[in-house]
Amino acid sequence: MDNEPLKSTLTELFRRSGPAHHQAYIHTNGDDPEWPLWYAEYLQADLQSLIGVEMTRSEMVYWMVRLYKEHQAHAPHSPWPEFYADYFIRHLDRVGKLGSSPHDM
């Protein structure tokens, strides 16, 4: 399966979320110790629609924290939007859910 169009769309979604978060927390110069909560809410509907997998907000928070830690441990100098998009695609391919009907990961 050619995942490049999905990767590009996911990357753009993640890329847009960064400035949106900074704008939402402009009064603190983007500082938000609870950032996974904000990202989970901001990304949930669009991400579910793109990957075809339903996730609760709690699951989204889990993924945001997990991906942050994976990125820091394995590729801290790479752009995070691309890293997150690749990670989601690899994980969904591995568990056989990419392109399937919506259901829990």
Per-residue pLDDT of the chain (105 residues; tens, 9 = 90+): 578 999 999 999 999 999 998 888 888 877 788 999 999 999 999 998 988 888 899 999 999 999 999 999 999 999 999 999 999 888 877 656 655 433 344
d(CA 38, CA 41): 5
Find tokens 């901001």 and name the residue: 42
> What are the backbone dihedrals phi and psi of residue 8, each rounded to the nearest 5 degrees, phi first?
-60, -45
d(CA 54, CA 76): 28
Find tokens 């989204």 and name the residue: 60
Find tokens 């996911």 and name the residue: 10
CB of 40 closer than 8 Å to CB of 21: no
pTM here is 0.81
